[in-house]
Chains A and B, each alone.
Chain A
Amino acid sequence: MARVILDGVSVSFPVFNANAKSLRANLLYLGSGGILGQDLRGHVTIAALSRVSLCVETGDRIAVIGRNGSGKSTLLRVIAGIYRPTEGSVRVDGRVSTVLGAGLVVDEELTGWEAIEYACLLRGIPRDRIDALGKEVAEFTELGSYLSVPVRTYSAGMKMRLSFAVATCDAPDVLLIDEAIGAGDIYFLEKARQRARNFLEQSNILFLASHSEDMLQSICTKGIVLDQGEVVAAGPIRGALQAYHDVGGPPRNRVTVSAVEFAFAEASEDGQGEPGQPFASSSVPEHPPAGAFDGNARTYWLSDPVSRVRDTAFIGFDFGPDRSIEVRQVVLRQRVHDLDCAGCVTCVAVQASDDGFEADVRTAETIQVEPDVSKQSFTVPPIGPARSWRLLARSDSVAGRPWGLSELDFDSVPAERLDEGRAIGSDPAAMNVPVAAAFDGSPFTQWTAKERAEAVNGRSWIGYDFGPDREIEVRSFTLRQWNGGGNPNTIPAVKVQYSGDGFVTDVRTADTVKISENTARNSYDIAPSARARFWRLLADAPTGGGHWGVIELRFSQYPVRRSPGGPDHGR
Chain B
Amino acid sequence: MPPPTATRSDALLALRGVGKTFANGTLALKGFDFEVHASEFVSLLGPSGCGKSTALRIIAGLSEPSEGSVVWPSPRTPTDGESRIGFVFQEPTLMPWTTVFNNVLLPLKLKGIPSGRAREPVSAALDRVGLNDFGRVYPRELSGGMRMRVSIARALVTEPELLLMDEPFAALDEITRFKLNNDLLAVWQTLRTTVVFVTHSVFESVYLSNRIVVMAARPGRVFTELAIDAPYPRDQNFRTSPEYAAFCRRTSEALAQAMAAGGQP
Interaction A to B: no
Binding site for B on A (CB under 8 A): none
Binding site for A on B (CB under 8 A): none
